[in-house]
Amino acid sequence: MTSQSQHFSEMMGQDSVRTPYVDYEAWFSRQDTARLSRKAKDAEAFFRRTGITFNVYGQTDAEERLIPFDLVPRILTAAEWAKLSRGIDQRVRAVNAFLHDIYNRQDILRAGIIPVELIQNNDAFLPQMIGFSPPGDVYTHIVGTDIVCTGEGEFYVLEDNARTPSGVSYMLENRETMLQMFPELFSKIKVQPVSDYPKNLRRSLAACAPASCEGRPTVAVLTPGIHNSAYYEHSFLADQMGVELVEGHDLRIVDGKIAMRTTEGHKVIDVIYRRIDDEYLDPLTFNPDSLLGVPGIMDVYRAGNITIANAPGTGVADDKAIYCYMPEIVEFYTGERAILKNVQTFRCSEADSLKYVLDNLADLVVKEVHGSGGYGMLVGPAASKQEIEDFRAKLKARPSNYIAQPTLSLSTVPIFTDAGLAPRHVDLRPFALVSPQGVHITPGGLTRVALKEGSLVVNSSQGGGTKDTWVLED
């Protein structure tokens, strides 16, 4: 396999296989392609039978879909991982400190590092959280930082995902599947295990129990229900942790605490790992039409009788407008330079940046500050002249609504096709757990891969797949 493209191939170096892939490549070259094809089909049948599927929103009766799994692992050396995990650890600590500050003293605003308007006009900023410190001062119990690689040791953080990152069940199931399919690989190549994640998650959540909790904390996972696209993951995590999977209507307030209805009466919950968004959490405080949440849970929370993970209002830290200040945020709270790079970001609210962006629209990606899911954005290199001109008008009308970034040359890792290996673009989402005892990051994470040739879109809703991610033992 040769990579003709100008993109960095994580497997193939300039003229030889890169170090992390040497052993794997040696194994792969001895494999019978027909056998691998069969294995790939077996894996798909296994995923279906196990119900590792996701629902597509707005299509309740539609077929449940599988996220395609590719059998070529994405491999990192222990040294690459050491740098990455140090960077994530630093960033996660900074995000937590930032959230605590923003909802309390607001030193960073007073120091003039972040403009006050960015916080004031931010929908994800919850006034209900002002002056309140969650148990253990932990806001982001679970973080899934999105990272891309553009060259040897060149890692960039794309997003901090401080709300309720998903995908960790795929990280775990992908490894299980690989162990089932290719046990011989794991005896040849020493890969750092990921299977402790559920145990660590439970431990980490329990360590954040409120002071009012006596004895062993009771943890529960709160799901919107079986029609949610990530329901499989919710049930998987509850099952693996050995805790109850609850919905809003299983819960009520009993003596000022949150309790779940069991066959033996109501039982108090100390820590709730919620997989529903802030706005649905409490109809009395947020969206009054929500049937998914628990009326009054915010009062219980503020009284210190329940831990909500992640804390409400963490979204203010993973906003695109805040993102571009992350290097400053890291430095402000940790006193260190940021280990992981941010993608260069032009704030169109600033005159110099705006001028640069307007002059270079054809080469940039321009995004709405509060937008998500790829809406309202311009991908310069892929846009027509007319589209660029239309966007120019919008940008001039409301510059502060936009940021711009250069298009990144994402690395590739090969996928297995019937015609052999073929390079595809990837990203990486490692998962970090935060508790008063520290930050714990599972080695590896979820690698998402754009299955279409040349595509940069790795989202599962748009034809992306996943890979097992290996961090080699030292």
Partner 1 sequence: MLGKTAGGLYWMFRGLERAENNARLIEAGFRIALTRSTNTETEWKSVIITSAAQQGFTAKHSEFSSTNVIDYMLRDTDNPSSVLSVVKQARDNARLVRTALTTEVWSAVNETWMVITELLKNPVPDTDLPEVLSIIRQQSALVRGALHGTMLRNDIYDFCRLGTFIERMDSTARIIDVKYYTLLPSPSLVGSRMDNVQWETLLRSVSAHRSYRWAVEEEYTATNIANFLVLDRRMPRSLAYCAGQIVENLDYLSEEYGDRRPSRDMAEHMNARLKGRDIHSIIEEGLHDVLGTIISDVAALGAQIEKDYRFIH
Per DSSP (E only), the strands in 242-344 are: 244-246, 251-254, 257-262, 265-268, 271-274, 307-309, 341-342
- In the bound state with partner 1, the residue whose beta carbon lies nearer, of 231 and 402, is 231
Residue partners of 66: CB distance under 8 A and separation at least 6: 44, 47, 48, 52, 53
Count of residues touching partner 1 (by CB under 8 A): 22
Contact 340, 156 (CB under 8 A): yes
In the complex, what is the shortest distance from the CB of residue 457 to partner 1, in angstroms, rounded to a whole number? 29
- Asked whether position 238 contacts partner 1 by CB under 8 A, the answer is yes
Asked if 235 is part of the footprint of partner 1 (rule: CB under 8 A), the reply reads yes
At closest approach, how far in Å is the CB of 229 from partner 1?
A: 13
Using CB under 8 A, which of 14, 263, 384, 386 touches partner 1?
263
Q: State yes or no: residue 35 binds partner 1 (CB under 8 A).
A: no
What's the length of the chain? 474
CB nearer to partner 1: pick between 181 and 241: 241
Please give the torsion angle defined by the CA atoms of residues 148, 149, 154 and 158, in that order, rounded to the nearest 10 degrees: -10
Considering Cα of 340, then 126, then 438, then 191, what sign does the dihedral take? Answer: negative
**Cβ(448)–Cβ(465) under 8 Å?**
yes
Q: Is 166 helix (H, G, I), strand (E, B) or coil?
A: coil
Which is closer to partner 1, CB of 63 or CB of 255?
63
Give the β-pairing of 464-471 and 69-76: parallel
User: Mutual orientation of helices 168-181 and 197-206 as an angle, nearest 10°?
Assistant: 150
Determine the interface stretch with partner 1 among 44-52, 78-86, 313-321, 387-395 (rule: CB under 8 A): 44-52
Q: What tokens appear for 407 in the block? A: 């298009």
231 binds partner 1 (CB under 8 A): yes
The gap between the terminal CA atoms of the chain, to the nearest Å, is 28
Binding flag, residue 51, partner 1 (CB under 8 A)? yes
Q: Residue 250 CB, nearest distance to partner 1 (Å)? A: 5
62 binds partner 1 (CB under 8 A): no
135 burial type by CB count under 10 A (0-12 exposed, 13-18 middle, 19+ buried): buried
Q: Which of 214, 264, 352, 418 is in the footprint of partner 1 by CB under 8 A?
A: 264
Which of these ranges, 144-152, 189-197, 261-269, 384-392, lies near partner 1 under the rule CB under 8 A? Answer: 261-269
Give the C-alpha separation, 138 to 311, whole Å.
Answer: 8
49 contributes a contact to partner 1 by CB under 8 A: yes
Q: Which is nearer to partner 1, 239 or 474 (CB)?
A: 239
Bridge partners, residue 251, by sequence? 260
Q: Which is nearer to partner 1, 18 or 252 (CB)?
A: 252
User: What would the two tokens of residue 32 be?
Assistant: 């019978």
Stretch touching partner 1 by CB under 8 A, among 30-38, 48-56, 344-352, 373-381: 48-56
Q: Give the shortest CB-174-to-partner 1 separation in angstroms.
A: 17
3-state helix, strand and coil shares in percent for the chain, rounded to the nearest 5: 35, 25, 40
Phi, psi torsion values for 448, nearest 5 degrees: -100, 145
206 binds partner 1 (CB under 8 A): no
Least Å distance, CB 238 to partner 1, is 5
We find the least distance from the C-beta atom of residue 308 to partner 1, in angstroms, to be 19
Interface with partner 1 includes 182 (CB under 8 A)? no
| Residue 261 found at the interface with partner 1 (CB under 8 A) | yes
Compute CA distances 364 → 137, 263, 385, whole Å: 39, 58, 13
Residue 246 interacts with partner 1 (CB under 8 A)?
yes
- The half-sphere exposure of 245 on its side-chain side, counting CA atoms within 13 A, is 17
The one-letter code for the residue type at 237 is: L
Q: Which of residues 138-177 bind partner 1 (CB under 8 A)?
A: none
Return the residue of 158, 245, 306, 449 that touches partner 1, per CB under 8 A: 245
Determine if 226 is a binding residue for partner 1 (CB under 8 A): yes
Residue ranges that bind partner 1, judged by CB under 8 A: 48-51, 226, 231, 235-236, 238-239, 244-247, 249-250, 260-265
